[in-house]
Amino acid sequence: MNFDLTIDRSCTACHKWDNVPAVFGVPDALPMWVADMDFAAPPAVLEALHRRVEHGVFGYTFPTESYQEAIAEWMQSRHGWSIQKDWIQFCPGVVPALSLIVDAFTEPGDQVVIQTPVYPPFHSVVKDQERELVLNPLIRGEDGDYAMDFEDLEKSLAGGRVKMLILCSPHNPVGRVWRREELERLADLCRQYDVLVVSDEIHADLIFEQGSHTPFAALSDDAASRSIICTAPSKTFNIAGMNTANMIIPNEQLRRTFRKVLNRYHIGSITPLGAVATEAAYREGGPWLDELLVYIRGNMELVANYIREHLPELSVALPEATYLLWIDFRSLGMEHDKLNRFLVEEAKLGLNSGATFGKDGEGFMRMNVACTRATVEEAMSRLHNAIRQWREMRK
């Protein structure tokens, strides 16, 4: 695959590129924020879509047995997790699913735990359902690595009001792939205090050490019985606009309850193209993904090396998964709003503000490097020039 090929996404109603003026207030910020890629989807996906389009009829569609088999086979081959086809429940997206799950399995006033800094919708799906958000901040080590704070978590669970924990695995934005022993300790606490675990594993395929990701439900029969695993091909194969996600729910009672809330809101119809793209991706997209991961790792190493050699004020740890970098700008000594303005107005970069991931994200920025190497090089050049000017002003 030629991942160096530049594909012009402007004027395609592209949220990432066409919304730059509305989001950042300037027309020329280089967008490296929204978590989709600037690469074409795998050739096998495009070919399958072309065949489906040529058919010419796009009526109501349902997830077929073949669709479910493709997902199950992928989970087995990629993650060593054996699932049954009837565990799979389609939903248009992981974020809508999270909102529905909070609605279905908690009541107003119940507490839901999230581990910050974390993907911003984790905050809103809890608050918008009028549930109480409980923060269990991750612990950041001197090397920039993050770990779970189990002591703080148990204090929250011991209060008896926490009914759900939303896990980000692998973690967005810090890029951790949780070790099996970490997940087992988490599972033990959730079993002890009877807490449902909703594990967002949308980035599970984007790991740099094959086999390092452990699906939460694969830990044990008990973990499977008290968890809902959120998956989607969207991040992996850059088909987010297809609105296709799949909840894997081993517990039959949980499955029935989730389907009931889907029916209540009349949600659940898959699109013809989403169904085709998903099945083709899982059946034939593996080699493309392997090449992609090598390319993205190269982009990440470029940024890390550039920061180490030219921008000592910044720091970044290479993540274990995702195509997202969590960059520490705190040594610049800027309040977060000022840092945002600096990056947009002086560096002409559109990054995700770390503060949107939680208070403990202030001073950080999330950078999406799922783009051409030339784009990454341009970003680092812009950042270097802006910081060089900042240094001059401080003399």
SS3 sequence, the chain?
CCCCCCCCCCCCCCHHHHCHHHHHCCCCCEECCCCCCCCCCCHHHHHHHHHHHHHCCCCCECCCHHHHHHHHHHHHHHHCCCCCHHHEEEECCHHHHHHHHHHHHCCCCCEEEECCCCCCHHHHHHHCCCCEEEECCCEECCCCCEECCHHHHHHHHCCCCEEEEEEECCCCCCCCCCCHHHHHHHHHHHHHCCCEEEEECCCCCCECCCCCCCCHHHCCHHHHHCEEEEECCHHHHCCHHHCCEEEECCCHHHHHHHHHHHHHCCCCCECHHHHHHHHHHHHHCHHHHHHHHHHHHHHHHHHHHHHHHHCCCCEECCCCECCEEEEECHHHCCCHHHHHHHHHHHCCEECEEHHHHCHHHCCEEEEECCCCHHHHHHHHHHHHHHHHHHHHHHC
Pairing of strands 349-350, 30-31: parallel
Q: Which residue intervals of the chain bear CATH 3.40.640.10?
A: 58-284
Contact indicator for 87, 248 with CB cutoff of 8 Å: yes
- CB burial readout 344-383, b (16+ within 10 A) else e: beebbbbbbbbbebbebbbbbbbbbbbbbeebbebbbebb
Torsions phi, psi for 364 (to 5 deg)? -110, 160
Burial status of residue 126 (CB atoms within 10 A of its CB: 0-12, 13-18, 19 or more): buried
Query: 81 and 75 in contact (C-beta within 8 Å)?
Result: yes
Distance CA 20, CA 350 (A): 8
User: How confident is the model over 21-45, as pLDDT tens digits?
Assistant: 999 999 999 999 999 999 999 999 9
Per-residue confidence in pLDDT tens, the chain, 395 aa = 899 999 999 999 999 999 999 999 999 999 999 999 999 999 999 999 999 999 999 999 999 999 999 999 999 999 999 999 999 999 999 999 999 999 999 999 999 999 999 999 999 999 999 999 999 999 999 889 999 999 999 999 999 999 999 999 999 999 999 999 999 999 999 999 999 999 999 999 999 999 999 999 999 999 999 999 999 999 999 999 999 999 999 999 999 999 999 999 999 899 999 999 999 999 999 999 999 999 999 999 999 999 999 999 999 999 999 999 999 999 999 999 999 999 999 999 999 999 999 999 999 999 999 999 999 999 999 999 999 999 999 87
Residues 254-263 pLDDT 10s: 999 999 999 9
Q: Tell me phi and psi for residue 326, to 5 degrees.
A: -110, 100
- Return the CATH class of domain 58-284: alpha beta
At residue 32's C-alpha, the angle toward residues 48 and 285, to 5°, is 25
CATH number of 15-42+287-388: 3.90.1150.10
CA atoms within 13 A on the CB side of 138: 24
Q: pTM, whole model, 2 decimals?
A: 0.97
Name every residue whose Cβ is closer than 8 Å to that of residue 189 and which is 6 or more positions away in sequence: 150, 153, 154, 157, 195
* Residue 4, Cβ density class (10 Å: 0-12 exposed, 13-18 middle, ≥19 buried): exposed
Where does CATH 3.90.1150.10 sit in the chain?
Answer: 15-42+287-388
What is the rounded radius of gyration, in angstroms, for the C-alpha atoms of the chain?
21
pLDDT number for residue 268: 81
Beta bridge partners of 89: 247
d(CA 233, CA 244): 7
Q: How far is CA 132 from the centre of its chain?
A: 23
